[in-house]
Amino acid sequence: DAGVTQTPRHEVAEKGQTIILKCEPVSGHNDLFWYRQTKIQGLELLSYFRSKSLMEDGGAFKDRFKAEMLNSSFSTLKIQPTEPKDSAVYLCASRGQGSSYEQYFGPGTRLTVL
Amino acid sequence: GQQVQQSPSSLVLQEGENAELQCNFSSTATQLQWFYQSPGGSLVSLLSNPSGTKHTGRLTSTTVTKERRSSLHISSSQTTDSGTYLCAIDQTGNTRKLIFGLGTTLQVQP
């Protein structure tokens, strides 16, 4: 079974650009999460979908960050416009139903904003 | 403040030594998960342990829910164990989202 896939693995953007990160969850998983990881803040939740419905949009990240899930097997995270402080690793994770609650993570996209 | 606190922040061991990693959390947790992240890599779930003691291979996790703490014991450490160990809790409620600690960076020297 394929795990969570993310593309691209690396992205370099100029300040002010729009970038779109992509994620494909594990087949059959209902929950999808987008996180940002930095050394100082650790992992911060950006968005959380359940069965394609947006359950949480990450509060402070609302203004320039927009996650969408058009179908159950594909999600995008758009950052518009990018700022240097957005440089981080962006991780996507999915989780199936059931009591285990375990999340499965993708390899991440390392974003550098110049 | 940080809802999930991990200690130590970093640890250096010689191969063969045991490691004890701690996780303390400030709110009730319905779930607790330990992850491993290799340098530059993604997160891999090691153990899901909301309460009690669980073993897998050389890993043992003990969670005392009432005291809001969990530990991860790595026995006979190997150089390939080097990386960051993250603790995450799933808060009581309907959102079921994970709150992560900042991690313990482990370096095992040959």
Residue A17 token pair = 């650009």
Please judge whether A43 and B100 are an interchain contact, meaning their C-beta atoms are less than 8 angstroms apart: yes
Please name which of A81, A82, A76, A77 lies closest in space to residue A113, comparing C-alpha atoms.
A82
Q: Give the whole-number percent of chain B exceeding pLDDT 90.
A: 69
Cβ A55 vs Cβ A65: under 8 Å: no
- Using the Cβ of A100 and the Cβ atoms of chain B, whether some distance falls under 8 Å is answered with yes
- Using the Cβ of A108 and the Cβ atoms of chain B, whether some distance falls under 8 Å is answered with yes
Per DSSP bridges, beta strands B104-109 and B10-14 are parallel
- Residue B29's pLDDT is what? 79
Mutation target vs A (from B31, B96, B104; most A CBs, 10 A cutoff): B96
Report how far apart, in Å, the C-alpha atoms of A10 and of each of A40, A108, B77, B108 are. 20, 9, 32, 28
Of A48, A55, A91, which has the smallest distance from its Cβ to B43's Cβ?
Answer: A91
CA distance A110 to chain B (A): 9
Half-sphere exposure of A97 (CA within 13 A, CB side): 4
pLDDT averaged per 10 residues in sequence order, chain A, 114 residues: 89 96 94 92 90 80 87 94 95 81 88 96
SS3 of A82, please? coil
Of A56, A104, A105, which has the smallest distance from its Cβ to B95's Cβ?
Answer: A56
Residue with more model confidence, A54 or B78: B78
List the 5-64 stretch of A: residues with Cβ below 8 A of B. Answer: 31, 33, 42-43, 45, 48, 55-56
- Residue A70's pLDDT is what? 86
Which residues contact residue B77 at a Cβ distance below 8 angstroms, ignoring those fewer than 6 apart? B13, B15, B16, B17, B18, B19, B58, B106, B108
Cβ B25 vs Cβ B3: under 8 Å: yes
Beta strands in chain A (DSSP E): 5-7, 10-13, 19-24, 31-38, 42-50, 53-56, 65-71, 74-79, 88-95, 104-105, 109-113
Which residues contact residue B66 at a Cβ distance below 8 angstroms, ignoring those fewer than 6 apart? none
- Residue B31's pLDDT is what? 84
For the stretch B24-76, pLDDT in tens is 998 777 788 999 999 888 899 999 888 999 999 999 999 998 899 999 999 99
Cβ B71 vs Cβ B8: under 8 Å: no
